[in-house]
Amino acid sequence: MSEILRLPAEELYKEELNALIENETNPVPVGWKMSPRSVLTYIMGGKSGKTVITPKYMGDRRLVEICIATLVTDRALLLIGEPGTAKSWLSEHLTAAINGNSSKVIQGTAGTTEEQIRYSWNYAMLLAKGPSFESLVKSPVYSAMETGTIARIEEISRCASEVQDALISILSEKRISIPELDTDVAAKKGFSVIATANTRDKGVNEMSSALKRRFNIVVLPAPADIQTEIDIVRSRTEQLADSFGLTASMPDNSAFERVVTIFRELRQGKTLDGQMKLKPTSGVLSAAEAISLMVNSMALSGSFGSGKVTDADLAAALQGAIVKDDSKDKAAWTEYLENVMRKKGRDYAALYAECKERNS
Amino acid sequence: MAEYFGVRHFSPACAFYVTEFLERVKPDILLIEGPSDLNGLIPSLCGIDANMPAAILAYTSEAPVKTVMWPFAEFSPEYRAMLWAVKRGVPVKFCDLPSDCVLAGENPEKANKTDIYERMKIASGLDNDTFWEYSFEHCENYEDFLSAVDEYGKSLREFSETDGLNGLREAYMRRVIAENEPLGTVAVVTGAFHTHGLKNVPYSKEDKRLTDKLAHINCKATLMPYSYFRLSSRSGYGAGSKAPAYFEMLWKNRLAGHLDNTAAEYLSRLAQYQRAAGFSASSAEVIEALRLANTLCGMRNGKMPSLSDLRDAAVTCLGHGSFGEISLACADTEIGVKIGSLPDGTVCTSVQEDFSRQLKELKLERFRSASADEIELDLRENLRVKSEKSAFLDLNRSFFLHRLLICGIHFGEQLSRSQDNATWAERWRLQWSPEIEIEVVEASLNGDTVEEAAAYALNSRLLESEGLLDASNSLSDAFLCGLTDCVKTAVSAVQRLAADCASPSETGKTIGSLSAAVRFGTIRRINSENLPPLMEQLFLRFCLSALSASVCDKAAAEELVTAFSVVNDACLSHEFLDENRFVSLLDELADSDMANPLVSGFAAALLTERGKISSEKLSELISRRLSKGTPPADGALWFEGLARRNRRSLISRLSVWEKLCTFISELDEEEFKPVLICLRRTFAEFSPSEKADIAENVGEVLGLSKEDAAEFVMAEMSEEEKQTLDDLDDFDFGDI
């Protein structure tokens, strides 16, 4: 097991990437490591020569096609979606496949400054030598332009609007001017930007339409069908439980199925059969949230409980995930329990009783 | 000799090349896939004053009405072929099973080809429509096209097993072809699927045996105007087109010789629609969308972007990632609103037929006159007659008339009755006019019988309804029309809207109308079993949200009081509603100082009425509400709520009046004015005898004799009092 908590995608899937590059038959765009089709295979899974390529993104193939096509046409790509819909995951793997390097990242925060997008100065050098290329500190976007690769900007809507605006000229002119040195740097072919943004978070800045126009926008949906989502949640839970060394036994299939069903129904605001409309809750009930719920329950029962995830554990975790601080959430949860879960039959009876007790 | 041309219905490319095919072959006779007994309709269909889309409609002349349709658009290969033949004077005939045999079979429209397409999708990696577009629609060479279509038809056949109906149809077509072959060169235009079954299988005795004993049924046929919308919504039948307006665009561009313009035109039209609708859509975005569409199509080895490429690119660039933003523009550009027209006298649709038949059956024919006549309906079962039909004659009449109204056919007008509550009686005024004939023809765009058209109209109204009230009105209409399926749709619409937006007062009113439907559903003989679960849900939602909603202003409080009263009645008449939940809600409300005093008082009144509150508790509440700590106006408002129900039990409680007297006597001048208004309003609703009883109570409290007190209460106002009251007009009452 590696000492590193989390390896970048290009390290983790080095063999797959190499196999794809070796077996390339289609034309490769300037600045890319492989053809658009191979990128698609890398993301969606398949085969390259003898190497099996594991699927990285389980979802709509067409959306990934649109993402890749966007990057081929030198346009910037904006991935929008609710939390936990694999936006950053997809952007990391896209850059890993296209450039073999997913490390040119700017993490958008309320404290991100314009310099972090463009360039800043090494002040010791600046004092010693004055403005020169040596004293210039390049931002990830700057070096991506120089090398003709793709820069990633995470959570772009968390940045202040003036910082977002700094991107406008970069994306339309494809160059950064450095007035201090009386010069500018033009982007090489292959340069592009992948940004991600959240739709449901609070405390974000609205993106200006000027900036939005410079992106092709792809909205990533929650997993399309329940089986996919159950698979995603189970496989990620297994991976995480393994890497954290959790001692509790994996919950059985029905636990995953029930949690994912409840999450999906509340998220979509209707029952799976589409017969009944439900009040949505304020919490974000994404696949990622379901994964962390399962991992947490496992950690709890492993450390303090019987080592098996019980209905009571699930009920407590569900209560915490669904009913945030809002009294509306509680009413919606009560309604869900009474109108939907109570009528789901034997599989849910014990869970229903536990949930009801906690919610009263 | 016979020459074959396989087509895909509604394919512009086929429509284009079929003409070239005919020019090359120069047939003496042209045979087309279509009902062979309806050749007589071809001349009117190809006439100058016929505008596509139009359809051939065949329908059984007796109930239950079954229909079958052959729709044509401007870019239908069959239509182009017919036009060519009519222009050249070449005889043209249909060669498929006669319409009466199709109708005599089972489920004539059930041409279920979806699984073939599913399997083909797996084989080619593309969905069928995109595959078709890449390989055929964008093909610009006659020979290539012909061989590609041939290949397509072959693989279609490989992927599917021919079923009985298709076998019979092909046997019949082979027979017609064989009959015509001696007359000269025959050109055969059929679906590509059938071409192989016709070309490579010789006509045999077995075919003759099969087609000699065809089943027949009485039916009629007509041409009817069709719409692009209906063409697109029927695409599931295998004989429609998902995007007729888009294909028309392809057709026109192909005719003009610049097929490659279609992508730009599609995207520009979307942008234009967006701008007209007030959204921004810049040319730069259109250009980016076009570039993206080209790249997407390149990734799948297409020559030109297909509809799916274009639409996905438009969503990404013009819709900023969400289809919702451009869905209307897409509907307009892809489906369109075109409606065909046909010369007068050629149209006699099944709805017209159905309308006349029902008039006869329901003995309403005498009302088909220009003079307005009234008719009274008694919906209850007529026990004096034997047959079920006549026992429920009036009920069926009512269903029929209500359905006409929903269809937009203004034959009958419902009149209000003096006895409004009698759910079993209705009064109508019926009058016929030529405009109504037109309305009946228009209804045929929605369905093939009056019932179908009404159900369609009601369903689309349900889809559009935005408020709970709209939906529950439609639900009542579905009951009135006797449309059981619509009732189901309406129930789910009500459920959906209730979850979305509804305030407790709206929810409460809906519970009331559902309760009425449950109670009176039997008279209309409609199964209302799915209403109680819905009522339970709404009831639960009402109980959960009413408490927080009761912190509100006066106007909202009035609404809420009405809702409470309705829910209370519903709760009393339906056992399946959880009474305990309701009572505990009332308990909380009556005790809550946060809630609007009117609602709170009303809750106390309902509790008193149900006998669910002890006298001690009630008097505690009254003391608190009418005590010094509460703003006097609130106290009076609370009392107003309390006095809304069950006045007798209030009057009989002397302690109530003692407290009220103390309350009023302790008020100073300024406090008294707002209280006066509320109390006047409260007592205005009491009857004289109730007022007399109150006077007696008050007299007792104040130590006056009964007569003296009554004199005070009943006396006319003096001038001075009137003056004081008039002065109050200038008083600012705030929110009471």
DSSP state of B136: I
Asked if residue A4 belongs to a domain, the reply is: no
Q: What's the pLDDT tens digit per position in B575-607?
A: 777 778 888 888 888 887 777 888 888 888 888
- Residue B22: the pLDDT is 86
Q: Which two tokens stand for residue B727?
A: 């002065």
Residues 6+ apart with CB under 8 A from B185: B1, B2, B3, B25, B26, B27, B28, B29
**Is B499 close to A277, i.e. CB distance below 8 A?**
yes
Angle B487-B492-B495 from CA coordinates, rounded to 5°? 125
pLDDT band at residue A189, thresholds of 50, 70 and 90? Answer: confident
Min Cα separation A281/chain B (Å): 12
Pair A290, A187 in one domain: no
Count of other CB atoms within 10 angstroms of residue A65: 22
In this prediction, residue B236 carries a pLDDT of 45
Q: Residues A230, A216: one domain?
A: no
| CB proximity B363 to A under 8 Å | no
The β-bridge partners of A154 are A107
Q: Which residue has the higher pLDDT, B556 or B64?
A: B556
Test A69 with B292 for CB contact under 8 angstroms: yes
> Going by DSSP bridges, is the β-strand pair B92-96/B412-415 parallel, antiparallel, or unpaired?
unpaired
Residue B333 CA to residue B327 CA, distance in Å, equals: 10
**Residue where the block lists tokens 């797959």:** A16
Closest residue to B495, CB basis, from A36, A276, A338: A276
Mean pLDDT of A5-28: 84
**pLDDT band at residue A194 under the 50/70/90 scheme:** very high
Contact A69 B299 (CB under 8 A): yes
The answer, for B310 touching chain A at a CB cutoff of 8 Å, is no
* Interchain CB contact of B527 with A (< 8 Å): no
Residue bearing the bigger pLDDT, B710 or B414: B414
Q: How far apart are CA B570 and CA A128, in angstroms?
A: 86
Q: How far apart are CA A309 and CA A300, in angstroms?
A: 9
A113 and A247 in a single domain? The answer is no
The pLDDT tens digits for A267-277 are: 877 777 776 77
CA-CA distance, A190 to A118, in Å (whole number)? 18
Query: How many domains, chain A?
Result: 2
In a domain, A3, yes or no: no
Complex-level ipTM: 0.71
Q: Which of B322, B489, B544, B580 to mutate to test the interface with A (most CBs of A within 10 A)?
A: B544
**Which residue, A220, A242, A260, sits at the end of a domain?**
A220
**CB contact A61 to B (< 8 Å):** no
CATH number of the domain at A80, please: 3.40.50.300
Decide if pLDDT at B434 tops 70: no
A162 and A78 together in one domain: yes
Confidence (pLDDT) at A220: 85
Predicted pLDDT of residue B110 = 46
| Percent of chain A residues topping a pLDDT of 90 | 1
* Residue A1 located in a structural domain: no
Q: Which of A178, A191, A184, A171 is nearest to A29 (CA)?
A: A191
A147 and A242, same structural domain? no
Lowest mean pLDDT among A23-32, B562-571, B636-645, B679-688: B679-688
* A354 and A235 share one domain: yes
Q: Give the other-Cβ count within 10 Å of B729's Cβ.
A: 6
Rounded mean pLDDT of A32-41?
88
- For residue A349, the enclosing domain spans 226-359
- The pairing of beta strand B186-191 with beta strand B2-7: parallel
Whether A339 and B498 lie within 8 Å, measured CB to CB: no
> For position B255, what pLDDT does the model report?
86
A71 and chain B in contact, CB less than 8 A: no
More confident residue, B256 or A201: B256
Q: Identify whether the C-beta of residue A28 lies closer than 8 Å to the C-beta of residue A34.
A: yes
Question: Which of B295, B322, B540 shows the shortest C-beta gap to A338?
Answer: B540
> Phi, psi (5° rounding) for residue B690?
-65, -40
> Based on the domain organization, do A114 and A189 belong to the same domain?
yes
Chain A nearest-CA distance from B158, in A, is 27
Whether A275 is in a domain gets the answer yes
Q: pLDDT tens across A301-335, in order?
A: 888 878 788 888 888 888 888 887 667 788 888 88
Among A204, A220, A236, the domain-final residue is: A220
**Do residue A348 and residue A261 come from a single domain?**
yes
Are A262 and A341 in contact, with CB atoms under 8 Å apart? yes
- Provide the pairing of β-strand B2-7 with B67-72: unpaired
**Residue A114 and residue A172 share a domain:** yes
Which of A66, A71, A270 should be substituted to probe chain B, the one whose Cβ sees the most B Cβ atoms within 10 Å? Answer: A66
Final residue of a domain: which of A203, A220, A237?
Answer: A220
Spell out the SS3 assignment of B559-572.
HHHHHHHHHHHHHH
B501 or B386, which is more confident? B386
Q: What integer is the mean pLDDT of B195-203?
A: 77
Concatenated DSSP letters of B328-347: HHHIIIII---B-B--TTS-
**Does residue B283 sit at the A interface (CB-CB below 8 Å)?**
no
Which alpha helices (H) appear in B611-718, and where do they start and end?
615-625, 632-642, 647-651, 654-665, 669-684, 688-702, 706-714
The answer to whether the beta carbons of residues B223 and B72 sit under 8 Å apart is no
Shared domain for A101 and A215, answered yes or no, is: yes
How many CA atoms lie within 13 Å of B2's alpha carbon, on the beta-carbon side? 27
Question: Which amino acid, one-letter code, is at B174?
Answer: R
Residues A232 and A351 both lie in one domain = yes
Q: Residues of A with CB below 8 A from B300's CB?
A: 65
Is A146 part of any domain? yes
Helix (H) or strand (E) holding B208: helix B205-212
Please write the tens of the pLDDT for every residue from B622-649. Answer: 777 777 677 777 777 787 788 777 777 7
SS3 at position A230: helix
Q: Considering only CA atoms, give the Rg of chain B.
A: 36
Q: What is the predicted pLDDT for the residue at B109?
A: 45
Judge if A209 and A251 occupy the same domain: no
Is residue A57 within 8 A of residue A228, CB to CB? The reply is no
